[in-house]
Amino acid sequence: MPAAITLFLFGAATAALSLGLPLGTLRAPGSGFFPLVLGLLLMGLAASHGIRLHLARPKPAAVPMTPAPPAAASGDGATLRVVLFMGAVAFATALLETLGYAIVSFVLMLALLWILGVRKWHVSGLIALVSAGFSQVVFVHWLRIPLPSGWLGL
């Protein structure tokens, strides 16, 4: 449940901060449009996950026959993955102006794949390269959204 709450708060912060950027329209989206949509989607997904967790909770027995075992201290690692995910996104955001969108999206995808458990570097490198290239073509060249090019001009 802490992971769902953390993701919901992260989505709310993303949506709130995106309102400070120009939103544009659906035909000509501004730089705040996609962060707003992604923040709202993250909030919705986190809320639905939290509701599912709440509904799936085991109901307490009327009279327990044996004492309950002690709760695991670390859980399944979901909270750690959420914290690492948010840290990677914050780090990428901090480096976006300096390194540029293409490089940061490649490195961010590598980091997120590692956090999700993809440990084969050739696989995650290929996925990161294709996704960064695809998003560069779609957002910069096709939709003509001005994204930071960084000191390399990419």
**Rounded mean pLDDT of 23-32?**
82
Q: Domain end: 64, 90, 119, which one?
A: 64
Q: Are residues 60 and 85 in the same domain?
A: no
The residue segments making up the domain with residue 48 are 1-64
Q: Are residues 45 and 86 in the same domain?
A: no
For residues 148 and 94, is the Cβ–Cβ distance under 8 A?
no
Pick 66 or 23 by higher pLDDT: 23
Pick 25 or 111 by higher pLDDT: 111
Give the pLDDT band of residue 77 (cuts 50, 70, 90): confident
Residue 33 lies in a domain: yes
The pLDDT tens digits of the residues spanning 100-142 come to: 889 999 999 999 999 888 888 889 999 999 999 999 888 888 8
Burial group, residue 145, by CB count within 10 angstroms (0-12, 13-18, 19+): middle
Evaluate the CA torsion angle 114, 120, 121, 126 in order and state its sign: negative
pTM: 0.56
Q: Are residues 41 and 112 in the same domain?
A: no
| Side chain identity, residue 75 | G
Domain count of the fold of the chain: 2
Q: Which ranges in 100-120 belong to alpha helices (H)?
A: 101-116
Residue 86 lies in a domain: yes
